[in-house]
Amino acid sequence: MKPAKERIRIVEGDITKQETDAIVNAANSSLLGGGGVDGAIHRAAGPELLEECRGLGGCPTGEARITKGYRLPAKHVIHTVGPVWRGGNRGEPELLAACYRNSLKLAVEHGVRTIAFPSISTGAYRFPLDQAARIAIKECKAFLDQEPSIEEVSLVCFGPAASDAYRKAWREVFGEEYREG
Ligand code: AR6
């Protein structure tokens, strides 16, 4: 098994374009669409995605649900609901960590080998980016250390500020610079 640090990538771009087995959506608990990355995923996937989501009956914060990807390059969409930042003392860090863990668990159950995550909760839900990036990398590392079936996790950064924050968090978690490739 390759070490976790060789199976996690930091990429800058649009998650709807990722050609991974699954992409993760930063949804809200209704699972009926919204703005940000959720809006972009629903637009790119087409109306069948909303139809399937209607049948799921929502999703609590910290949990995850899976659907097909429809018109997306990705075969599956894993919808997870991040916490709204309310100052950090309402269980937000643990709930965000649970989003990564539960999404990866669902991915394994569905035979997903490559998966792309957006920076959950760091847009409309206002989770501080530096802390969220650290949680994302730490949780992906811990999961991959225990689970050989996931070949690649892409952490998709929407712009250079997010990409810088993830690189900084990488140094904190792995104790070395992030290297492409
Ligand atoms: N590809 C990758 N990342 C993106 C994209 C994209 N196409 N578009 C935005 N981001 P947000 P949240 C980044 O607000 O904070 C929705 O309305 C963005 O820069 O999408 O979890 C839902 O329905 C940010 O870093 O999600 C919920 O109501 C990150 O994605 C609520 O927003 C997350 O920002 C969820 O809020």
138 Cα: distance to centroid of ligand 1 (angstroms): 20
Q: How many CA atoms lie within 13 A of 143 on its CB side?
A: 25
SS3 40: helix
What is the CA(99)–ligand 1 centre distance, in A?
Answer: 14
Tell me the pLDDT of the chain averaged across its residues.
Answer: 98
Ligand 1 pocket test, pick from 24, 37, 85, 117 with the greatest ligand atom count within 8 Å of Cβ, gives: 37
Query: Running DSSP on this structure, what letter comes out for residue 47?
Result: H
- pLDDT confidence tier of residue 149, bands split at 50, 70 and 90: very high
pLDDT at 54 over 80: yes
* CA-proximal residue: ligand 1, atom 18 (nearest): 123
Supply the pLDDT for residue 104: 99
Q: Residue 107: helix, strand or coil by DSSP?
A: helix
With vertex at residue 16, the alpha carbon angle to CA 13 and CA 20, rounded to the nearest 5 degrees, is 90
* E strand map for the chain: 8-12, 22-27, 64-68, 76-81, 114-117, 152-157
Look at residue 18 in the predicted model and tell me its pLDDT.
98
pTM: 0.98
- Which of 158, 164, 166 to mutate for ligand 1's pocket (most ligand atoms within 8 Å of CB)? 158
In short, whether 72's Cβ falls inside 6 Å of ligand 1 is no
Confidence of residue 83 (pLDDT cuts 50, 70, 90): very high
Average pLDDT over residues 9-36: 98
Whether 13 has a pLDDT exceeding 90, the answer reads yes
Cα dihedral 4, 68, 41, 140 in deg (nearest 10): -10
At residue 154 the predicted structure's pLDDT band, cuts being 50, 70 and 90, is very high
Would you list the DSSP string of 134-162? HHHHHHHHHHHHH-TT--EEEEEESSHHH
Handedness of CA 65, 115, 82, 14 (dihedral sign): negative
Ligand 1 site, residue 40, Cβ cutoff 6 A: yes
pLDDT at 150 over 80: yes
pLDDT at 181 over 80: no
pLDDT of residue 74: 98
Residue nearest to atom 11 of ligand 1 (CA): 123
Question: What's the whole-number mean pLDDT along residues 51-80?
Answer: 98
Q: What integer pLDDT is reported at residue 180 of this predicted model? A: 87
Q: How far is the CA of 123 from the centre of ligand 1 (A)?
A: 5
